[in-house]
Chains A and B, each alone.
Chain A
C-alpha cells in the first residue's frame, strides 16, 4: 500500500509536467490546427537558456522568467515566419508537419552545437530534501512542480475565461473568419497562442531539467508522453490535456512498478499503447469535441 501511494504521488508529479507540455501542444493545436512537433525541443532550448543564465549568476527564478520571455517571442516568431505562410488548408498539414519536424531537428542540433551533448546538472527550483505526506515521502521539488503547475493552470484559466484578451484568443481559434469580421486581429492572436505555448514549455523545461538532466535529447520521450496526454484528454481541450497528463503520469508509474514486462526502462511503451488505444477506440479523447465530417 505504501509503495502504491508513493508511486501515485510520483506519478502525479511527473504527470503534472506531461500535462503542462500537453497543454502547450493543445494551445498550438487550437490556434493553428496543427501539432507542433518542435514543442518539446523548444522547451529543452529554454531550459538550456535558464541554465546558462543561472551559471552566469542570475538567480534561478529570474532566469526562468527570462527564458519564458524569450520563449514567448520565439514561439510568436515561429508562428509568423514558419507557419502562417502555408495557410490553414487541410492540404497544408503535411507541409506543416514536415516544417515543425525540421524545426525540431534544428533546435536539437543548435543546442548540441552550443552546449555539447554532455549532461548538465541543474539545481532543483524548490530546493533539495523531502516532505512527509502521510506515510510516504515526496521531494520538495515534486511538490513544488505540482504547485507551480496548479498556479499556472489557474492563471491560464483566468486569462481565457475572465479577460477580454482571452475571449479574443478563443474567438480567433474557434472561428477565424468571424473573429476577423468582428475586428479581432486574428494573426496577432495566433502569434500570442504560440507565444503562450512557448512560455509554458519553457516553464516545463526548467522544472523537468533537474530530474531529466539537461541535454539536447532530454525532451524526446517527454514529448511522447505529452502527446499521449493530449490524445487522451482530447486534442482541443486544455483541461483535458492537464487531466490526461496526470493520468498518463500515474499509469506510466504504475505500469513500471507492477507490470514486469514494462519494468523501469520500457515505460515509453505505455505512451505508445495509450495513443494507439485512444485513437482507435475514442479518437476525440476524454474531453475533446467530436469532429463530424461533412461531404
Chain B
C-alpha cells in the first residue's frame, strides 16, 4: 500500500497520485484585489442580464440555485469553518418560509417580512445554539437530526397558523409597474440581490477576525480559548447567523414557489443541504454556489429515471466525495486555478489568509499494524 515515488509508474500509479492530490486540502486562492473585484462585478453583471433573455423556467431554477447558495454559505460558516455539524437546518428554512407565508397572508408587504424572518430565525438559532455549546459533534448531529425529523409533524400540529397538511398558497412578489419585468425575472433579481449581499457578508466574515476565530475554535477549542477567543459566544453566534441565512433562503423560497407545505421541509431537504456543502466544498464560500447547482439540477436530471434516483445520487455523492474529494468541487477548482492565479500581478488583500481548510480525517489508505508485521 505504500507509494513509490517513481516517475515511470504506469497509468494506475499516476491515477492514484492524482486521487491522493484530490484528498489534500487547498488554501484559498490568493488573487489580487483588482482581480477579485473584477470577477465579482463580471459575474454579478452577467447574472443580472440572464433573466432578460432566459425562459421563465430557467429563471426559476436559477432562483432556486441562488436560494440554496445563500443557505449553503450560512451552513458552511457553521459546519465548514466552525466544525459544528447541523442536520436540522431544514427546520430554520421552514421557519423562514412559514413566517413569510403567514405574514404575507395577513396582508404584510412581501419585502417587509424579510427582516422579521431574519430576526425570528436568528433568535431561534441562538436558542438552539445555546445547548449546542455543551454538545460535541456527534450529540449535536443527533439533536439536529431529531429536529429535522420532527419539523413536518410540528408544522402539521400548528395548523391554526400553518393550515396543516394542505399548506398555504400565495400570490406574491409581483413586480412593480415601473420595471416592466415579468414575475419570474423580478423574483430572480430579488434572489440575486440576496445572494450578492450574502456573498459579500460571508467573505467579510470568513477572511476577517471572526473567520479566524471560527477556524481556531474548530481546530482546537482549548488553544483558541487560551488565545482569547470567546469560544462559547463564537459558537452560539455562528449558529444563529447560519440559521438567519437559512431563514432568508426560506423567505425567498416563498417568493419563488408561492406555496408552503409541511412535507417539503423534511429529512430529505436537511440531507440535501448537507450534500450541498459537501459536494461544493466544506469550509469554502464558492463551494456553496457549486453545491447549489448540484442539488438544484440533480432532481431535474434524474426525474425521468426514477423518483428515487435523486436521493440515490445525493446519497452516493456524500459517500464518494468523502472518500475521493473531501474538499469538494471548490477544492478541485482551487487546485486547478492556483498556478494561473499566483502569477497574476497586483496587490494582495491584507485580509486574505493562506490557511487551508482542514476537515475531518479524509479516508487514508488503510495501513493496519498487520501489514507492518508482514513487510
| Chain B residue at smallest Cβ distance from A262 | B157
Residues of A within 8 A of B149 (CB): 220-221, 223-224, 268
Interface residue A56 (Cβ < 8 Å from any Cβ of B): no
| Chain B residue at smallest Cβ distance from A185 | B370
Interface residue A258 (Cβ < 8 Å from any Cβ of B): no
Interface residue B329 (Cβ < 8 Å from any Cβ of A): no
Shortest distance between the CB of A275 and any CB in chain B (Å): 5
Across the interface, A266 reaches (CB within 8 A) one of B157, B267, B268, namely B157
Judge whether A280 and B142 touch: CB under 8 Å.
Answer: no
Docked Cα-Cα span, A111 to B359, in Å, equals 31
Residues of A within 8 A of B268 (CB): 105
* A227 with B278, Cβ < 8 A, contacts A109-B312, A265-B156 known: no
Interface residue B319 (Cβ < 8 Å from any Cβ of A): yes
Docked Cα-Cα span, A37 to B326, in Å, equals 19
Say what secondary structure dominates the interface of chain A.
helix
Which residues from 45 to 60 on chain A have a C-beta closer than 8 Å to any C-beta of chain B? Answer: none
* A85 with B311, Cβ < 8 A, contacts A94-B83, A272-B146, A279-B143 known: no
* A112 with B146, Cβ < 8 A, contacts A85-B364, A220-B267 known: no
Q: How large is the interface on B (under 10, 10 to 19, 20 to 34, 35 or more residues)?
A: 35 or more
Residues of B within 8 A of A96 (CB): 360
Interface residue A120 (Cβ < 8 Å from any Cβ of B): no
Interface residue A187 (Cβ < 8 Å from any Cβ of B): yes
Docked Cα-Cα span, A117 to B315, in Å, equals 18
User: Interface 1/0s, chain A 190-229, versus B by CB < 8 A?
Assistant: 0000000000000000000000000010001101100110
Shortest distance between the CB of B318 and any CB in chain A (Å): 3
Residues of B within 8 A of A261 (CB): 157
Shortest distance between the CB of B180 and any CB in chain A (Å): 44
Residues of A within 8 A of B134 (CB): 279-280, 283
Docked Cα-Cα span, A117 to B263, in Å, equals 15
User: Interface 1/0s, chain B 1-34, versus A by CB < 8 A?
Assistant: 0000000000000000000000000000000000
Shortest distance between the CB of B15 and any CB in chain A (Å): 18
Interface residue A276 (Cβ < 8 Å from any Cβ of B): yes
9 further interface pairs, Cβ-Cβ under 8 Å (given A91-B358, A96-B360)? A91-B361, A95-B326, A102-B322, A108-B308, A109-B310, A112-B306, A112-B307, A113-B308, A113-B309
